[in-house]
Structure 1
Amino acid sequence: MLTQDQIDAFDKHGYVMLPDLFSPEELAAMDAEILRLKQLDHPQRLLEVESNLVRAIYGLETSSEVLERLTRDPRVATPAQQVLRSKVYLYQTQVSPKMAFRSAAWEWHQDFMYWCREDGMPTPNAVSIAIHLDDVTEFNGPLYIVAGSHTWDLEQVTAQQGDGWEGSARSGDKYKISDESLSQLIDESKLVSVKAPRGTAVIFHSGLLHCSPPNLSPRDRTVLFVRYNAVDNALRPVPEPRPEWLAPRHNMAISPSESTFLSSASH
């Protein structure tokens, strides 16, 4: 559960960090499941455009009981309820692995821009919780964020560059913010490189402007994302909805578990 100071920091900056949220045993359990899912050939596993490297795996909860329980862990689900001031439902899960020396960038974007245009999300009252499964340094593809940018409306300066959901999920550049606008916005705010040890979680608003550079280091970097939407922010109909494992059309509230995700396995 977040303190009031943490909630205030989220409201002001669009993100807050939670160090040492998970134990070594819990992290090892997540690692094992992600390694298994990376080796499966299924539609939810997307490869990078110019390589056979895994760029992202979505819908983790549909293929892993361990990761499904993680989405209801009170250390994850309860903070989402707090910052959104709402009951929440599970909107999306994703793992983003960046291999040493090889993995590509994710361009500057607001998640809400995709979720609004692709899925029909009415407002940005949604949140991501990024769990660091490796030590994240300035060299291995950390999250870059613009503090306070969750309040910015970038609709008019974001142009569409292609069609279809799969290409955008593999390249991450379907909706591009103009370079001129980016330069001006970043100059007017504070650019932050989110570096933190394995086991840290970062909660950030769906409107927060962010990106991640290529991994140019000799160390892998994997981040697991659990994303929630407010139940009263249900998706509107769209002409070509994305797959359910990428953007579910229901808004069924979840209840945080009474115990942590590994403890609940024995109950």
Structure 2
Amino acid sequence: MSNTRSSLDSSTRKQLTETSELPGATGWDVESQDPYPTRTACPPQQKWIERQEAVVKGRDYPGPLSQDKLDEFEEKGFIFLPHFVEGEELKALQNEIRELTSREEYLGRDFSITEPQGEEIRSLFAVHFLSERLNALANDERLTQRVRQILGGDAYIHQSRINYKPGFVGKGFNWHSDFETWHAEDGMPRMHAVSASLILTDNHHFNGPLMLVPGSQNAFVPCVGETPEDNYRNSLKSQEIGVPSQEVLAELIAKGGGIEAATGDAGGLLLFDCNVLHASNANMSPDPRSNVFFVYNRLDNRCQAPFAAPKPRPRFLAHEPGEDWTP
């Protein structure tokens, strides 16, 4: 399947025009200057760029998120919902994850990422195409209604993955904004995306839970360093390009009142904005940690040509609306 994603064609331009009245839409001109420049050769003049899009755009949509929860998401950039799945449904999903991550035929494939110094699977991508059960979950109204309340419109799956950290050997992820990567390398124009992370093992402070900076969703941090060819081959194991400076991180952490860790029992759901800064430590415990992620991108925000990379990343990392990906 071709990975080419060139400038937008006339039908896509028409779609963007027709959907520009959606809540939070900006009427962005595809020919205009990039509002979020990054991956520059020289340090940027600004430490960060103020976010141009609303964080919550669908308050008038019906759904299970209360106005208080939407307020919390708007303020912090994330919310945690315990007991999202329980009982037999949780057990079935846990079994599905174990089965997928143990398939020998996936080892060595480009959509299967192993630990930097090992053969354990670190991430498995495009999982809603690999599993009917995960596809059903990704399209479950319990998720899609919440997504619509946040994004203010219908969305498609931009990316799906399982993140797995084996006990004692699972490595961490460096600080980053997902949107910075998706904008630079996938061509996502605006901040109209949200991630849903379903915790499938108990996440505690010692097995490398996700750490987030409250309020950082409002600050786009330009990063220094041009994107190398096929950067994803290294960045999915250990990210070095697209990482904010320690100075800016320290300032945003202080501004947000510290760092919060997404800890909780298996079955909890973390919803977090595409631009919130997050990272995770290595798993220093004997307890494995696994989550399944679905990234929802609003339909009028579909990706185009990358803003700061030589070519688009492979499709298992950045899906198109309505595509039928196969490994």
Structure 2 length as normaliser, TM-score?
A: 0.73
Which residue does the alignment assign to 2:51? none
Identify which of 300, 303, 313 aligns with 1:242. Answer: 313
Greater CA radius of gyration, 1 or 2? 2
Deviation at residue 217 of structure 1 after TM alignment: 0.9
Asked whether the equivalents of residues 46 and 56 of structure 1 are also in contact (C-alpha less than 8 Å), the reply is: yes
Identify which of 212, 223, 228 aligns with 2:280. Answer: 212
SS at match of 1:170: coil
Which residue does the alignment assign to 1:15? 78
Whose helix proportion is higher, 1 or 2? 1
Distance 1:188 1:231 in 2: 32
Q: Which moved more, 1:76-85 or 1:169-178?
A: 169-178
Distance 1:62 1:34 in 2: 13
Residue 198 in structure 1 maps to residue 262 in structure 2:
no
Asked whether the equivalents of residues 159 and 176 of structure 1 are also in contact (C-alpha less than 8 Å), the reply is: no
SS at match of 2:98: helix
Identify which of 203, 221, 226 aligns with 2:294. Answer: 226
Distance 2:137 2:147 in 1: 13
Structure 1 residues 219 and 66: alpha-carbon distance in aligned structure 2, compared to 1, 3 A threshold? same
2:281 counterpart letter in structure 1: P
SS at match of 1:117: helix
Which residue does the alignment assign to 1:36? 99
1:235 counterpart letter in structure 2: C
Distance 1:11 1:159 in 2: 30
Whose strand proportion is higher, 1 or 2? 1
Q: Which moved more, 1:170-179 or 1:6-15?
A: 170-179
Which residue does the alignment assign to 1:97? 164
2:96 counterpart letter in structure 1: E
SS at match of 2:321: coil
Q: How many residue pairs get matched?
A: 251
Structure 1 residues 204 and 80: alpha-carbon distance in aligned structure 2, compared to 1, 3 A threshold? same
> Hey, which bits of structure 1, 4+ residues long, moved more than 6 A?
none
Identify which of 111, 120, 138 aligns with 1:71. Answer: 138
2:77 counterpart letter in structure 1: G
Residue 251 in structure 1 maps to residue 321 in structure 2:
yes
Which residue does the alignment assign to 2:67? 4
What are structure 1's unaligned runs of at least 5 residues?
A: 254-267
Distance 1:178 1:80 in 2: 31
Which residue does the alignment assign to 1:168? 235
1:244 counterpart letter in structure 2: R
| Identical amino acids, percent of aligned pairs | 31
Structure 1 residues 179 and 163: alpha-carbon distance in aligned structure 2, compared to 1, 3 A threshold? farther
Distance 1:160 1:216 in 2: 33
